[in-house]
Chain A
Amino acid sequence: MTSIRRGYLRLAMQSLRASRTRSFMTMLGIVIGVMSVIIVVAIGEGVKQQIGNQAARYGKDVLVVRPDTSGDIGGSGLPGGTASLLTNTDAEALRQTPGIERVVPLSALKGSVTADNRVDNPLVIATTYDLDTVLNQKIAYGGFFTPADGEQVAVLGPDLAHQLFEDTAPLGEKLTFRGKQFVVAGVFKPFLASPLSLEANYNQAVFIPYIAAQNILGTTPQINQMFVKAKPGTDVQALSKTVSQKLTDAHGGAQDTSVLPPGAKGSVSDRVLQLLTLMTICMAAVALGVGGVGIMNMMLVSVTERIHEIGLRKAIGATNQQILRQFMTEAFVLCLIGAVVGVVLSLSTVGMLKLYTSLQPVIVWQVAVIAPLIAMITGVIFGTIPALKAARMDPIEALRHE
C-alpha cells in the first residue's frame, strides 16, 4: 500500500515540476498565508511580553497611581502637567496611610538641558531619593542619588547621557537646567523600550531630586505619577482599593485618578492587543481563503489541461478513485511544500526583525504548528472540487480531447 502511495507521490511531483511556474504561484498563496499569521502573531506576542516586562519594571508590591487626564507632555507618556490632579498633599496623605511603606512621586518639568550639547525639552523628572527602591532597573555607572549627594545631582537615562555628553559614563560632569547646575551621579542601564507602551521612555530622561525642583519652582511641583510601595505582608489588591478611595475622598469625591495594581497593563495597550489579535485572525482567514482559492484555480487549470491524460489513464485501467487520489495528492503536496516554506520563511523573517528593528517578536510555536496545518487542510479541501471533476470525467470524451 505504501508503495502505491509513493507512486502517487512521484506522479504528483512529476506533474508539479512539469508546470513549475504555476505550482510556484499557487504555493505563494499558502506561503503568504502561513507567513502572515506566524509573523503577526509573533509581533503581537513580542509586544505583549514587553508590556509584561514593563509590569516587572516595578516590584510586585508597587502600585502605580496616575491622574485620569487626557493630555500628556509631548508624547512623553507622563500625564500633562497643568491638568495634573495629584499634589504633594496627596502624597503626604498616602504616606500616613497604614500598609504603605513609601510613596515616590514623579513630576515632569519643562525646560532645556545644557551640557556639552544642548537638548531641548527632554524628559526632566523630579523624584525622591528612594525611586531606586521601587524601580527594578539597574544603574550602569555610578549610583542613584542619595540625600548625601545633596540637592544638585542628577541621574541620566543612557540615551540622554549620550546626547548631552557624547559619553556613556559622564560621572561627575555638570549639566545645567533652568540656570542651576547638577552633577551627574549615575547613568541607568537601557530601559526596555516598547513601541506600544504607555510608559514614558526613561532612556531619554534626566532624574533630579524633588527638593531641587521645589527650589526651582518655588512651590511643590504637581505630581504626574506616583509609585506606592506596600509594606511587607500587605494585601496589595486591597491596598489599591484603599489608595483609590483615599484619593477620591481627598479630591472631594471625584474619581479622577487610577490606581494600577502590579502586573496591570495600561488599558489602551490592552485594546491595542485585542485589535492586533483580531487583525491577525482576519488576515489569516483572508490569506488562507486566497491560498485555498488559488489551489482550486490551479488544479482546475491543471485538470483542464490534462483531460486527454485523464482519458488515457482511465483507458489503461485507472478507477475514478485512483484519479481522484492522484489530483488530491497533487493538491496536498502543493500545500505541504507551501506550508513548510511558509514556516521556514517566517522563522527567518522573525529573526531578521529581531536583528534589524526595535520589535522583539516572539514565535508562538502553537501558531507555527497550527497555521500550516490549517493552510494544508484549506488547500486540500479546495483541491477536492477539481479532483472530483477529473475523477468523474467520461473516458471517451476525455480521450477525444486534445
Chain B
Amino acid sequence: MSLIELKDVSKLYGFGDATSVALDEVSLSIEKGECVAVMGPSGSGKSTLMNMIGLLDHPTHGDYLLAGKRVSRLSANRRARIRRDKIGFIFQSFNLLGRLTALENVALPLLYKGLPTSKRNSAARAMLERVGMHDRCYYYPRQLSGGQTQSVAIARALVNDPELIIADEPTGNLDTESSRLVMELLSEIHKAGNTVIFVTHNPELTRYATRVVYMQDGAVKYDEQTKLGEVGSYARNAMYKIPETTEEDDLAGVSVLMKVRPSETESPKKAPAKKPAKRTTRKKKRKAAA
C-alpha cells in the first residue's frame, strides 16, 4: 500500500470560459520512505500538487488516498487534524510567526494537539537540537538568517513526528550555503525513515532525492527514480539546456547553480545577492516562456 495515492486528481479554478486547470488528471503514488523532488516551470501546478497532498486543498475531481484512507472528501476540521498529526509543512517564506520565539513556533503544532506546556517545550527543544538550532530557542524570527529560519521551520514540521514532510521551494530564498544546509537536514530526515516531498527549481538539489517528478501544465510530464547523490537525468538535461547566463538570470539564482559546478560553465563573477521571492518568480516565468 502506497503512502500517497492520487487517482486522476484534477484541480480547476474559476467557471466557464475563465476556467483554469491547475492540476490535470494527475495520478501519482508515493511509497513510504521516498524522497521526491518535484520540478517544473512556474505555474505548472507544483504548489497545487503539494497543497493537495498536504490536505490544504481538496481535488475538484479524482481521489486521494493517504495511507490507504480516502481523504479527498473530508471536512475542513478532519483535514486540519490530519495535517497536525501526519504532515509537516515547510514553505518558501514567512514560515514562522514573527511574534513567537523559535521555541514557541516549533511548539505550536503541539499546542493545537493539546499537549501541556512542559511537554510542548521539551519536545520543541529536542527538535531544535536535532536541526542544530538549540542555541537559538529564544530568538525571534527577525533575528534569524534565512537558513536558520528554514531550519526552525523544519524543526516545527518534525515536532509531531509526521509521516510526511512537504517542502514547497524550501531553498527558494536561500543562498548556496544555506540551501545546502537545509537540504542536508531534509536528507537526514529522509534517511531516518521519513517520507519527504520537496519542490525545487535547482536541478542540482535533485541529488538529495530518490525520485524526480517533472511537472508541466498541471500534469506529470516525467517521473524517474534516481540514486541518491545523482542529478536526475531529465533534470541534468534541463540543466544543460539553460541558456547563456544573463545578468538577470544571474540575479535570479542561476549563478547558484553555476557556482555549485564551477567546472562546467564559466560563471560570471557576481555574488548571488538575496533576492525577493516575487522577482525570482517573474524571472522563472520568462524563462519558461522562452
Q: Which residues from 89 to 116 on chain B have a C-beta closer than 8 Å to any C-beta of chain A? A: 89, 91, 94-95, 97, 99-100, 108-109, 111-116
Q: Which residues from 308 to 356 on chain A have a C-beta closer than 8 Å to any C-beta of chain B? A: 308-309, 312-322
Contact A318 B91 (CB under 8 A): no
* Subset of 23 A-B contacts with CB under 8 Å: A3-B117, A4-B114, A7-B120, A14-B99, A14-B100, A312-B91, A312-B95, A312-B97, A313-B108, A316-B83, A316-B89, A316-B108, A317-B81, A317-B85, A317-B109, A317-B112, A318-B80, A319-B77, A319-B112, A320-B77, A320-B80, A396-B51, A399-B91
Q: Which residues from 1 to 36 on chain A have a C-beta closer than 8 Å to any C-beta of chain B? A: 1, 3-4, 6-7, 14-15, 18
B84 within 8 A of A: yes
In the bound complex, CA of A42 to CA of B156 (Å): 54
Q: Which residues of A contact B51 (CB under 8 A)?
A: 396
In the bound complex, CA of A15 to CA of B57 (Å): 28
With contact pairs A4-B111, A18-B99 given, residues A316 and B76 touching in the complex (Cβ less than 8 Å)? no
Contact B113 A317 (CB under 8 A): yes
Contact A312 B94 (CB under 8 A): yes
In the bound complex, CA of A396 to CA of B54 (Å): 11
Min CB–CB distance A399 → chain B (angstroms): 7
A395 within 8 A of B: yes
Which residue, B56, B57, B81, B85, has most C-beta atoms of chain A within 10 A? Answer: B56
Q: For the complex, count residues of A whose C-beta is within 8 A of B.
A: 25
Contact A395 B56 (CB under 8 A): yes
Given contacts A312-B94, A314-B83, A396-B56, 17 further A-B contacts (CB under 8 A): A6-B117, A312-B91, A312-B97, A313-B112, A314-B80, A315-B83, A316-B89, A317-B81, A317-B84, A317-B109, A317-B113, A319-B77, A319-B80, A320-B76, A320-B77, A395-B56, A402-B94
Which residue, A1, A18, A313, A318, has most C-beta atoms of chain B within 10 A? Answer: A318
In the bound complex, CA of A396 to CA of B100 (Å): 22
Min CB–CB distance B149 → chain A (angstroms): 13
The 3 A-B pairs with the shortest beta carbon distances in the complex, nearest first, are A317-B84, A3-B116, A319-B80
Residue of A nearest to B77 (CB): A319
- Binary flags per residue of A360-402, CB closer than 8 Å to B gives 1, else 0: 0000000000000000000000000000000000011001001
Q: Which residues of B contact A15 (CB under 8 A)?
A: 99
In the bound complex, CA of A53 to CA of B160 (Å): 70
In the bound complex, CA of A312 to CA of B111 (Å): 14
With contact pairs A320-B77, A321-B77 given, residues A309 and B97 touching in the complex (Cβ less than 8 Å)? yes
Q: Which residues of B contact A3 (CB under 8 A)?
A: 115-117
Min CB–CB distance B44 → chain A (angstroms): 17
Q: Which residues of B contact A309 (CB under 8 A)?
A: 97
In the bound complex, CA of A313 to CA of B190 (Å): 25
Which residue, B51, B85, B99, has most C-beta atoms of chain A within 10 A? Answer: B99
Q: Which residues from 104 to 146 on chain A have a C-beta closer than 8 Å to any C-beta of chain B? A: none
In the bound complex, CA of A1 to CA of B56 (Å): 27
Q: Given A7, A308, A317, which contacts B83 in the complex, CB threshold below 8 Å?
A: A317
In the bound complex, CA of A309 to CA of B95 (Å): 9
In the bound complex, CA of A317 to CA of B87 (Å): 9
Q: Which residues of A contact B115 (CB under 8 A)?
A: 3
In the bound complex, CA of A350 to CA of B241 (Å): 81
Min CB–CB distance B287 → chain A (angstroms): 22
Min CB–CB distance B55 → chain A (angstroms): 9
Contact A316 B114 (CB under 8 A): no
- Binary flags per residue of B140-151, CB closer than 8 Å to A gives 1, else 0: 000000000000
